[in-house]
Amino acid sequence: MNEPKNTETTQSFDPHASSLQGEVKNEVLEELYAIRGSIDNFDAQLVFLLAERFKATQRVGILKAKHQLPPSDPNREKAQIERLRTLAHEAHLDPEFAEKFLNFVISEVIRHHQNISDSHNNA
């Protein structure tokens, strides 16, 4: 996966921004910054991964619009949710959270698909 050359974000982001400065000992702050470095890496990857996922779902949306297929596919969603809940359980992630997260993403995808279908029909 190609990561964008996001010099703007890297230049303006202050990894040490904190409301705790001056409130806790320096060594605690240093340890916090070290852990937060990993959190920042995870968050960046999440954004890249989601961007790739949305690229793929856009293609599905175009395919569906071309062939007059409905934006959502409830049986597919059911299967995905079951799978993700199992994966989450195995990974010690709360399955309820995994389900909510997937539903949140899917509802946004369906909104995109509806928009693609509307503009396809109006063209």
Ligand X SMILES: C=C(O[C@@H]1C=C(C(=O)O)C=C[C@H]1O)C(=O)O
Q: Measured in Å, how far apart are the chain's first and last C-alpha atoms?
A: 33
Find the Cα–Cα–Cα–Cα dihedral 104, 108, 109, 110, rounded to 10°.
100
> For ligand X, which is the closer residue by CB, 36 or 112?
112
Contact between 72 and ligand X (CB under 6 A)? yes
Q: Taking contact as CB under 6 A, which single stretch among the options 3-11, 30-38, 102-110, 114-122 is the one that binds ligand X?
A: 102-110
Contact between 81 and ligand X (CB under 6 A)? no
**What is the rounded CA–CA span in Å between residue 65 and residue 118?**
8
Contact between 106 and ligand X (CB under 6 A)? yes
Helix (H, G, I), strand (E, B) or coil at 22: coil
Helix (H, G, I), strand (E, B) or coil at 104: helix
Contact between 60 and ligand X (CB under 6 A)? yes
Binding stretches for ligand X (CB under 6 A): 57, 60, 72-73, 76-77, 80, 105-106, 109-110, 113
